[in-house]
């Protein structure tokens, strides 16, 4: 979920957002949370609306993350599904298409929320039995809504 922080005095030129980030990962069944746990993350994401890029966001500092085992895949007993969560507060959006962004803000103010797509590359710090391991450039994509 992405929420605008309208308390910023210059929100149209340097909008701030708060993000409840949720990443779902399928891992082979032999990799468990006892062996691997995502502790921190950072990265870069492009945000698009109706297929057009309007913004990007760069998370340059490591952000705390939690990892939870959601379920074991009952279909073939080969994958575990884990959830990695992080709260990102007061992150600055880099607006790349001001006209499209103004349309999005207008719709958020008028109807409450707007669906967007996210295409990201993330880096993660994984705590393991061998110590911390950094994995870089992991691609991901998804969709969410921007709301008030």
pLDDT at 89: 87
Mean pLDDT value across residues 20-30: 84
Higher pLDDT, 1 or 44: 44
Query: Is a pLDDT exceeding 80 seen at residue 82?
Result: yes
Joined together, the tokens standing for residue 81 give 């599904």
Query: Is a pLDDT exceeding 60 seen at residue 138?
Result: yes
Beta-strand pair 79-92/113-128: unpaired
pLDDT at 50: 94
pLDDT at 121: 95
Mean pLDDT value across residues 99-112: 91
3-class SS at 64?
strand
C-alpha distance from residue 59 to each of 50, 123, 131 (Å): 24, 10, 23
Q: Which of 145, 144, 89 is nearest to 112 (CA)?
A: 145
pLDDT grade, residue 130 (50/70/90)? confident
Q: Which single residue is written with the structure tokens 């809504």?
A: 145
Neighbours of 64 (CB within 10 A): 11
Mean pLDDT value across residues 93-106: 91
């Amino acid at each position: 979920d992405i929420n605008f922080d309208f308390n910023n005095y210059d929100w149209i030129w340097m909008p701030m957002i708060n993000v409840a980030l949720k990443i779902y990962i399928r891992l082979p069944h032999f990799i468990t949370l006892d062996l691997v746990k995502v502790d921190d993350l950072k990265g870069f994401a492009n945000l698009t609306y109706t297929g057009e890029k309007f913004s990007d966001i760069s998370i340059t500092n490591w952000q705390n993350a939690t990892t939870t085992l959601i379920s074991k895949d009952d279909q073939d007993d080969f994958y575990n599904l884990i959830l990695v969560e992080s709260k990102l507060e007061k992150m600055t959006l880099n607006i790349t298409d001001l006209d499209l962004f103004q349309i999005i803000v207008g719709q958020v103010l008028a109807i409450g929320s707007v669906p967007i797509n996210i295409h990201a590359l993330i880096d993660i710090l994984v705590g393991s039995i061998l110590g911390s391991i950094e994995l870089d450039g992991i691609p991901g994509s998804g969709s969410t809504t921007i709301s008030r």
